[in-house]
Amino acid sequence: MFKITNTTKAPAAIGPYSQAIEWNGILFASGQVPINPEVGDVTAEGIVDQAEQVMKNIAAILEENGLGFENVIKTTCFLADMGDFATFNEVYAKYFTGKPARSCVAVKELPKKVLCEVEIIAIREK
């Protein structure tokens, strides 16, 4: 069995997918873009503010599942511009202090023309 995450503290899925699914103690979270869940749209401008909103969205999904950033073992990060890499890393490092495994790639375009997206895998036991 698996459990689907559905919290109003993170943006609702903008397509046919779940915010996250937990299976056998492993949480697989869909990519989070900087949508402000209170208004249902992107309100942050610039890579710093957008990355901060992404981290808030991830935190909400983790909290809904009784987990924290320390439970994250893998992230995949997508940037619209690799020129934002260093600035994105500054925000990222404040949250992922346990240094999970990570991939970070530049992509041609992200949903809603945002600057960053992050997906995570977390485990219940560490």
Q: Is 77 a catalytic residue?
A: no
pLDDT computed for residue 125 by the predictor: 78
pTM over 0.85: yes
pLDDT computed for residue 58 by the predictor: 98
User: Residue 78's domain is classified under what CATH number?
Assistant: 3.30.1330.40
How does pLDDT run along the chain (126 residues), one tens digit per residue?
A: 899 999 999 999 878 999 999 999 999 999 999 999 999 999 999 999 999 999 999 999 999 999 999 999 999 999 999 999 999 999 999 999 999 999 999 999 999 999 999 999 999 975
Q: What does the block give as tokens for 21?
A: 């699914």
Full domain range(s) for residue 17? 2-123
Burial level of 121, CB count in 10 A (0-12/13-18/19+)? middle
Catalytic residue, chosen from 26, 104, 121, 123, is 104
Domain count, the chain: 1
Do the beta carbons of residue 116 and residue 76 sit within 8 Å?
Answer: no
Helix axes 85-95, 46-64, angle to 10 degrees: 30
Residue in the structure block whose two tokens are 């020129």: 83
